Structure 1
Amino acid sequence: MPKTRTLVASALASVLLVFPLAPPASAAAPGGTGAEVSYETVPGHGGIDLKAMVITPTGYEGPRPLLVMPAAWSTSNLLYVGAAKRLAYESGYQVISYTSRGFWDSGGEVEVAGPEDVADARAVIDWGLRETAADPERIGMAGISYGAGISLLTAAEDDRVKAVGALSGWTDLAGSIYANETVSFQAVELLLGSARLTGRPGDALQEMESEYRKGNLQPALELAPERSVSTKTDALNANGPAIMVGHAWNDGIFPAGQFTDFYAAYTGPKRLMLSSGDHATPEAFGAFGLPNETWESLTRWFDHHLRGVDNGIDAEDPVRVKPNNGGAWASYPDWQSVTVQKTALHLGKPERSWSNWQRTGGLEDEPRTGWDYGVRAGVGTAAESGTLLLSGALQQFADIPTGVSLPLVDRRRAGVWTGEPYPGGVRISGTPEAELTVRPTDSEQSLYVYLYDVNRYGTGSLVTHKPYTLRDAQPGRPVDLDIALEPVVWNLPGGHRLALVVDTRDARYTDESDIGERLTFGSPESDPASLTVPTA
C-alpha cells in the first residue's frame, strides 16, 4: 500500500505542474492602447532575488492601480500570464506577477507562506511603487492556491493592500492537512513531492517532512498558526481590505468549509463564490486568459474597489453558489441564508428486511435508540472519497461524480443508512452534520463519513464527506462525535434518496484503523444518532 500511494502521489504531482498557456484576450478598454511585458529581478526580503513578470499598460494617464500576484505552489510567474495581461491591457492595472521564493529561478528557499513570504510580498509592493507609475492608494493582491494564502496573510499585515482575490487558497493550514486529526495523505504527498521537484525546501519544510515520515506531525502543526489567516482575523478586520474568495466544493487540498467559517468571521467588504471542481480547477483557465466566471467576477471586484467603477457589484448579493452537480448560480445575502431549513434524520439499527438482504439502517423522522452495530475495521469498502484533483475535475467538466454501488458496500465493514425517496427532489444546501456514538477497540481509529445521492438502482453519487480520527480514546468506552461534513449545494433529483455510509479506510487519507480492530456504532437515549440535512 505505501508503494502504491507513493506512485499515486507522484502522478498527481505531475498533473499539478501541467499548465498550458493560452493567448491573452486582445480587446483594449477605452483609454488604453496596449500593454508592455518585461521580466524583472525584484529584490525580496533578506536580499534574495524574485523573478517577476511586470505588465505595464500603455495609453493610460496618471498613476495606475497596482496588482501584485504571487505564483501558486511549484509554479512560476507565467501562471497568470493571460489574466495579468488582460487586466493590464483592458483595465489599466499595473501588474506584477512573481515567482515565490524557493521555486524555479527565484532565490531563497521554500518557507511555506511563512513570514519571509509575506515580507517578500511587501517588498514587491515597495518595488512596484518605486519603479512604476503605481498609485500607493490603490493596491490589490490576487493569487491561486499558494498565491491566495500569501495574499491574505499580507493583507492582514500591510494596510496598503485595499483589495484581495483569494482563489483556491486556505485560511487554516492545519485544518486542511489534518482535518479532524486525520492526515490528508494525497494532498501532503503532492505538496511535498512538487516542492522537491520544482523548488528548494527550506529548513522548516525539511524538518516537517522528516518528522512526517516518522509519523510525527507536531512540527507542522506548530508552524501552521503563523501561516493561517484564521489566526489573524482581528488584524485583517482592522485593515478592512475588500476580499473576494473563489473556491471549489471538492477542493481536496484546502477543503471549502474553512472559507465558509472565514467568511462569517470577516467583517470587511467580502464576496464568496463556491462552485464545482477540485483544487484550482474553477479558475485555472481564467489564469490563462480564457473566459472564466470567477476571473470575470474578480475583475469587476477590483474595478469597483480599486478603480472606483460603479459596476453594481456592491449592490449584488455577495454569496454566490453553483450546485456541485450542475445548475445555475444562486445568490444570497450571507452564508447562513444558503440554508433555509435543517432536518434531523435519525439513524435506525442496520438490519435485514424482506426488501433488502443486507443490513441497512433507516434515516427516520423519529429517534431510534438503544441499538448497537459493530463492524470490522482496517479494510476498506466500495465507499471512497475519490482521487485528489481527478475526481473533482471529473465532476466539474464531465458531470461524472465519485460513485458507489450501494449493494457492494460490505456491511461487515461499514455502517449504511438510507432514507425514503424524495418524490419531487430536494436541494441539499449548506453543511450536513452527522451525530454518532462509536465504541472503538483501540485508542486510535479512523472513520470516514460519506453522504450519497442514491438512485433507484442503488448507484450512489458522493455529495460530501469528512474524515475523523479518534485519538487517545479508551478502548471499549463510547465516544460521542459531532462531525460537520464539508459544505455543499447539490440538487437531489426526484425519486432519489440519501444514504449515509461510515467505514474505516480511505485511500485519500492516512488511516489509523488496523485489521483485527472493530468499531461499534450506537444510538443511546441521551444522544440519539442522527444526520442533519440542510436544504434550500
Structure 2
Amino acid sequence: MRRSLPLLLAALVALVLAPPAQAAPGFAVAYETIPGQGGTPLKAFVVTPTGQGDGPFPLLVLPSSWGVNDIEYVGAAAKLAYQSGYSVISYTSRGFYDSAGEIDVAGPDTVADVSRVIDWGLAHANGDPARIGVGGISYGAGQSLLAAAADPRIKAVTALSTWTDLARSLYPNETVNAQAVELLLAAGHLTGRPGSVLRDAEAAYRDDRFADVLPISPPRSPATHVSSIKAAVMIGNAWNDGLFAPSQITDFFTALSGPKRLMLSPGDHATAELFGAAGLPNDIWASVGRWFDHHLKGVDNGIDRENPVQVKPNNGGGWRSFPSWAAATTRTDRVPLAADRIGTGWPTIAESGTVLVSGALQGFLNIPVGVSTPLIDRNAAAVWRGAVQWSATTVSGTPRAHLTVTTTAAKTTLYAYLYEVNGLGLGALVTHKPVTITGTGARTVDLALEPVVWDVAAGNRLVLVVDTVDARYKGSSTLGSSVAFGADSWLEVPRS
C-alpha cells in the first residue's frame, strides 16, 4: 500500500489541478525517481507544459522543506507550467519520507542533489540549460542558495523563509532557540532518517554543549558563500519567523552583489507564502513568478525597475518600498535609560511568544504578543518608558540597546523586548532579542534587536523591558544572582 501511495497522489494531483481537456496550454504531472548525488534515489513530482511547443522549456527545481515531501509545491508548479511554460521538478529532500539517504542538514550531498536533479531535468524533462532556476521554502530555500553558490548554471533563485546563517538563527547571541531546535529535531525524527551530523548535533544539544555544534554552521550557511552567488536572488521572509529571524536575512541581502529583491511581511516561519505553494493567490508567489519570468524568460514585467526592498509593516498595512534596506531608516532617536537593578532567574509576563503560533496570529489576524506593563514584576525586569508619541510614527529598521551591565553570575541571559504601549499600559510586542553574557563584573552590551517596520499610533509610547527568562529560549540565568544597569545606557530607535 505504501508503494502505491505516490502513484495515487500523482493521479489525484493531475485530476484536481488539470485544466479542461480543451484548454491550451496545459500541463502533465508524473511521479519519478531521480538519481541524486551518488545515485541516491530521490522522489519527485515532475510537472511539464503541454500544448506550448516542443521546448526546451525553462527549468525550475524546487527542493522540499524540512519534514515536507514532494507534493509541497505541486500547486504552484502546475500554475508555472501551464501559465508560463516552465518545466518544474518538486522533489523530496534527501533523508525524508520515501527519498533515500539520510538527513545531513544541508550538507554536501544534499546541496549536490540540486545539481543532480538539474541534470535529470535537462535530460528527461525538456529543460533548457540556459534558463535554470531553483527555489523553495525553508530547508528548500537554504539548499537553493547554497546550490546557486556551487552551480553556475543556476540563473535565478527564490528563497522563502530561508536561513542564511545557521548559527545566528538557532543560537542568537549564544542563546539556544530551544523551541525552534526541538521543533526541527521532532520533525526530522518523525518524517526522516537523521544522519550522523544531525545525531551528533542533537546529542551535543541535549548535553548542553550547543557551542560544539557551531562548526557545522559555516559550510551550511549561504552567508559564508555569498560572494560566489551570481544568480539573481529573491528572498521572502516574515518579521516574526521563529526559526530564521530577519536580522540574518537583511545582512545577507545587503551583501549580495547581483540582482536582488527582499520581501518582508507579517507572519511566522513559512506562513506568508504557505498558500501560494498550493497554487492559491499570494503576493509572495506572484513575485516568485515575476522574478523567474524576468530573469529566465526575459519578460519585461517591470520587476527590475521596482525598489528591491518591499516590506509590509508588522502590525498591518500595505507594501512599502525602499531602494535598499539601509534606506528604510532615515533617522534615529536616542532614548536614555535610567539605572536599575533586577534579580535573575525569575520569569515575568514579558515573553517573546511561541514559535509558529505567535507569528501566525500576528500575520493572519494582527494579534500581537501582548503584555500589561503595570503587571511586570519590577524585581525581575527592568522597565523603561519612552515619551508619549503625540503624532503617529514608524519604527523602521533595527532598534539597538546600549546597556552597561554588572552581573554577579558566571552566565546570565538577558531578553530585551520593545513594546508599543497604550494609555492603559497594554503593550504589543514590536521586536525582541536575547543575549547571553559570560563572566561576572561590569561590561558594555550592544544589543541589536530584530529588524522591524511597525507603525506606532498617536498617543502611544515605546517601552523597553529587559528580563532574564523566556520560554522560547534555553537561557543561562540562575536564581539568586542579579544584574545592575548603569545610568549611561540608552535605546536607539530607527525611524522612517
| TM-score, normalised relative to structure 1 | 0.88
Q: Deviations over 1:243-300 (max 9, x none)?
A: 0000000001000111110111110000000000000000001011110000001100
Q: Deviations over 1:488-509 (max 9, x none)?
A: 0000000000000000000000
* 8 Å CA contact retained: 1:431, 1:488: yes
**Structure 1 residue aligned with 2:141:** 148
| Matches of 1:219 and 1:266, distance apart in 2 | 29
**Structure 2 residue aligned with 1:478:** 442
Which consecutive segments of 4 or more residues in structure 1 shift more than 4 A?
Answer: 21-28
**Structure 2 residue aligned with 1:293:** 283
Q: Deviations over 1:282-326 (max 9, x none)?
A: 000101111000000110010000011111111111100000000
Alignment of 1:133 with 2:126, yes or no, is: yes
Q: Deviations over 1:391-448 (max 9, x none)?
A: 0000111111000000010000010000111111201100000000111111211010
**Structure 2 residue aligned with 1:116:** 109
Cα offset, 1:348, TM superposition: 2.1
**Structure 2 residue aligned with 1:212:** 205
* 8 Å CA contact retained: 2:409, 2:478: no
**Structure 1 residue aligned with 2:178:** 185
Alignment of 1:399 with 2:399, yes or no, is: no
Cα offset, 1:520, TM superposition: 1.1
Alignment of 1:102 with 2:95, yes or no, is: yes
**Structure 2 residue aligned with 1:467:** 434
| Matches of 1:455 and 1:314, distance apart in 2 | 41
Cα offset, 1:219, TM superposition: 3.8
Matching residue within 270, 274, 280 for 1:280: 270
Alignment of 1:498 with 2:442, yes or no, is: no
Instruction: Summarize the alignment of residues 156-171 of structure 1 with structure 2, pairs less than 5 Å apart.
Output: 156-171=149-164
* 8 Å CA contact retained: 1:32, 1:90: no
**Structure 1 residue aligned with 2:29:** 37
Q: Letter of the 1:305 partner, please give it.
A: H
Secondary structure of 2:249's partner?
Answer: helix
| Matches of 1:408 and 1:24, distance apart in 2 | 53
Alignment of 1:511 with 2:475, yes or no, is: yes
Secondary structure of 2:167's partner?
Answer: helix
Matching residue within 388, 396, 415 for 2:355: 388
Cα offset, 1:511, TM superposition: 1.3
* 8 Å CA contact retained: 2:338, 2:486: no
Secondary structure of 2:93's partner?
Answer: coil
**Structure 2 residue aligned with 1:348:** 338
Cα offset, 1:465, TM superposition: 0.2
**Structure 1 residue aligned with 2:242:** 252
Q: Letter of the 1:407 partner, please give it.
A: P
Q: Which runs of 5+ in 1 are unaligned?
A: 1-20, 350-372
Cα offset, 1:34, TM superposition: 0.7
| Matches of 1:23 and 1:347, distance apart in 2 | 63
Instruction: Summarize the alignment of residues 313-352 of structure 1 with structure 2, pairs less than 5 Å apart.
Output: 313-349=303-339
Q: Deviations over 1:210-255 (max 9, x none)?
A: 111111124420111110011111211xxx1010000000001000
**Structure 2 residue aligned with 1:532:** 492
**Structure 2 residue aligned with 1:17:** none
Secondary structure of 2:78's partner?
Answer: helix
**Greater CA drift, 136-145 or 57-66:** 57-66
* 8 Å CA contact retained: 1:24, 1:288: no
| Matches of 1:497 and 1:479, distance apart in 2 | 29
Q: Letter of the 1:345 partner, please give it.
A: V
Q: Letter of the 1:348 partner, please give it.
A: A
Alignment of 1:176 with 2:166, yes or no, is: no
Cα 1:455/1:285, change in 2 over 3 Å: same
Aligned residue-pair number = 481
Cα 1:418/1:258, change in 2 over 3 Å: same
Secondary structure of 1:271's partner?
Answer: strand
Cα 1:298/1:335, change in 2 over 3 Å: same
**Structure 1 residue aligned with 2:223:** 230
**Structure 2 residue aligned with 1:199:** 192
| Matches of 1:121 and 1:511, distance apart in 2 | 37
* 8 Å CA contact retained: 2:18, 2:27: no
Secondary structure of 1:148's partner?
Answer: helix
Q: Which runs of 5+ in 2 are unaligned?
A: 1-12
| Matches of 1:383 and 1:26, distance apart in 2 | 50
| Matches of 1:515 and 1:32, distance apart in 2 | 69
Alignment of 1:65 with 2:65, yes or no, is: no
| Percent identity between the two aligned chains | 56
Secondary structure of 1:100's partner?
Answer: coil
* 8 Å CA contact retained: 1:207, 1:219: no
* 8 Å CA contact retained: 1:32, 1:57: no
Secondary structure of 1:478's partner?
Answer: strand
* 8 Å CA contact retained: 1:444, 1:513: yes
Secondary structure of 1:428's partner?
Answer: strand
| Matches of 2:354 and 2:263, distance apart in 1 | 23
| Matches of 2:91 and 2:103, distance apart in 1 | 14
Secondary structure of 2:129's partner?
Answer: strand
**Structure 2 residue aligned with 1:353:** none
| Matches of 2:485 and 2:16, distance apart in 1 | 56
* 8 Å CA contact retained: 1:25, 1:290: no
| Matches of 2:14 and 2:380, distance apart in 1 | 48
Cα offset, 1:27, TM superposition: 7.3
Query: Aligned Cα RMSD in Å?
Result: 1.5
| Matches of 1:377 and 1:468, distance apart in 2 | 14
| Matches of 1:284 and 1:50, distance apart in 2 | 23
